[in-house]
Amino acid sequence: MANRNDAGEDLAGTLSALLGGDLPIGIRAYDDSYAGPVDPPATVIIRSSDAVRRMLSAPGELGLARAFVAGEIDLEGDIYVVLSTLRERLGEAFRRPRSWAALARLVRGTGGLRRAPEPPPEEVRLHGRRHSRSRDAAAIAHHYDVSGDFYRLFLGPTMTYSCAVWEDPSVGLDAAQEAKYDLICRKLGLVPGMRLLDVGCGWGGMAMHATRHYGVRAVGVTLSREQAELARRRVADAGLADQVEIRLADYREVDDGPYEAISSIGMFEHVGEAQLATYFSRMYGLLAPQGRLLNHGISRPAGVAGIKSNSFLQRYVFPDGELEEIGTVVTAIQHAGLEVRHVENLREHYALTLRAWVRNLEEHHTEAVRLAGPGRARVWRLYLAGSALGFENGEIEIHQTLAVRATGGTSGMSLRPEWEGVREPVTAGAGLAGG
């Protein structure tokens, strides 16, 4: 028989009642109580009363996330089933009148109104003016200045931290990432000898792909010191140091245009609405006449609120991150003087990518904890799995937006999208432009 808490109720049963009862998942608590199906697809394990106090002091996702990151809550089994259930039930749990009795029992039985523990050290709050260069650098450092070996565990050998493009789920993550780079190169119309600027270059994947297969000269910029150092090593190891330059710099500091093409893959979420005009004006100014910009960024559907300041994403994953609606993005691009030529939503592709990353992270859990610590490993597991569900449910989108700096009404674009045709890429080492 389950033990009882101080209020005479078993904790798991009380939590189940708070969430509306009849749960498809199990709940096991530190008082040896259990609620849920006999053989559930997943089980939530409550390891201490601190977990409950966190959930009561910050109702909703933040309190739950704090308890999970701190190791006071654990998950066994299918994380997607747990997150889907909690998304459906948690928002109403503290507002549903029939749950108030369970809530009162939790407060009495766990001392839940006492001050909750301090947030885990992985939680961050930035200081200074939002989207200033120094604060943006701090935000990027929080997310990206982690061991490259940790990222390699779930990203795989391509070290590509953005949405892949899948012909079908069977092709595998690495092939889908290469396909994404190739699609972007074709949309940009890259040919040997062009100058390419890759804004937010990560670990150099796009710059190296474009140089190897399309013969361009590439400059990649990132605000992450860890990324820049590893990207330079990868470029050197690939024998591309004469063709690829990696800079530790803000996009606002690049002043050596013109470039015939600019790619921005997975960094747009860090720009911020207040900086959209600055960002796209900067891209316009760096492009040669008829030069193209490919902006690949996460967005939010119309009518969906942006990332809240007290959300798990803001506090643990992407501090100061902002998602814009694609209409806002297109308008900002055109206000900067660029002509938008093509917009593509890759929402389902990102869901597949994220599920592949989660599989890799779970398979290498012990090594992830060794490299990044248990708290950060938990942050990434929760973030990647939750994001996969967000894309699958249509709560988040991702768009590739292609724009051109047309001059005198001349865009240099083909009448039909040339990236839809078959193309023989430049062979590695052949046709590469000189210095």
Rounded Cα distance between 366 and 103, Å, is 36
Q: How far apart are CA 168 and CA 176, in angstroms?
A: 9
Confirm whether 121 is domain-assigned. no
Domain identity same for 100 and 228: no
Q: In this structure, how many other beta carbons lie within 10 angstroms of the beta carbon of residue 237?
A: 9
Mean pLDDT value of segment 174-195: 97
In terms of domains, do 253 and 137 share one? yes
Q: What is the pLDDT of residue 157?
A: 96
- Strand order from edge to edge, sheet including 259-265: 244-248, 217-222, 195-199, 259-265, 287-299, 397-404, 339-345
Domain count, the chain: 2
Domain that holds residue 104: 11-110
The mean pLDDT of the chain is 89
179 in the same domain as 43: no
In a domain, 364, yes or no: yes
Query: For the segment 299-345, what is each residue's pLDDT rounded down to a tens digit?
Result: 999 988 877 777 888 888 877 778 999 999 999 999 999 999 999 99
Q: Within a domain: residue 127? A: no
Global pTM? 0.89
CB 162 within 8 A of CB 296: yes
Residue 382 included in any domain: yes
Q: What is the predicted pLDDT for the residue at 297?
A: 96
401 shares a domain with 320 = yes
Task: Report helix, strand or coil for 404.
Answer: strand
Specify whether 187 is located in the same domain as 257.
yes
Last residue of a domain, one of 95, 110, 125: 110
Question: CA triplet 361, 365, 366: central angle to 5 degrees?
Answer: 150
- pLDDT in the model for residue 97: 64
Q: Read off the amino acid at residue 236.
A: A
Task: Compute the distance between CA of residue 160 and CA of residue 173 in angstroms, rounded to an integer.
Answer: 10
- How many residues does this entry show for the chain? 435
Q: How far apart are CA 357 and CA 413, in angstroms?
A: 36
Q: How far apart, in whole angstroms, are the C-alpha atoms of residue 435 and residue 318?
A: 37
In degrees rounded to 5, what are phi and psi of residue 195?
A: -100, 130
3-class secondary-structure state, position 323: coil
Q: Indicate whether 369 and 284 sit together in one domain.
A: yes
Q: CA end-to-end span of the chain, whole Å?
A: 76
Residue 74 sits in the same domain as residue 189? no
Report how far residue 393's alpha carbon sits from residue 395's, in angstroms, rounded to the nearest whole number. Answer: 6
298 and 379 inside one domain: yes
In a domain, 335, yes or no: yes
Region 87-115: what's the mean pLDDT? 70
CATH number (domain holding residue 83)? 3.30.1050
Q: Are residues 241 and 277 in the same domain?
A: yes
Last residue of a domain, one of 76, 110, 144: 110
Peptide bond into 258 cis (omega under 30): yes
Q: Which tokens go with 24?
A: 């498809």
Above 60 in pLDDT, residue 103? Answer: yes
Helices 326-335, 276-286: inter-axial angle, 10-degree rounding: 50
Mean pLDDT of 166-181: 97
171 and 229 within one domain: yes
Partners of 115 in the β-ladder: none
* Pairwise pLDDT comparison (379 vs 2), residue with the higher score: 379
Q: How many CA atoms lie within 13 A of 27 on its CB side?
A: 23
Q: Is residue 38 part of a domain?
A: yes
Domain boundary among 50, 78, 110: 110
Check whether residue 139 and residue 242 sit in a common domain. Answer: yes
Q: How far apart are CA 296 and CA 359, in angstroms?
A: 24
One domain, residues 244 and 360: yes
**104 vs 408, higher pLDDT:** 408
Lowest mean pLDDT among 16-25, 111-120, 154-163, 416-425: 416-425
| pLDDT tens digits for range 413-435 | 988 888 876 455 444 433 333 22
What integer pLDDT is reported at residue 233 of this predicted model? 97
Sequence-distant (6+) residues with CB within 8 A of 210 are: 181, 185, 190, 196, 198, 216, 218, 263
Q: Is residue 116 part of a domain?
A: no
**CA pseudo-torsion sign 82, 376, 397, 163:** negative
- Distances from the Cα of 304 to the Cαs of 246, 307, 323, in angstroms? 36, 10, 10
Helix (H) or strand (E) holding 339: strand 339-345
Q: Is a pLDDT exceeding 90 seen at residue 289?
A: yes
Which tens digit of pLDDT belongs to each residue from 29-84? 999 999 999 999 999 999 998 988 888 888 778 989 999 999 999 999 999 999 99
> 343: domain CATH number?
3.40.50.150
pLDDT tens-digit readout, 151-166? 999 999 999 999 999 9
Q: Is residue 390 part of a domain?
A: yes
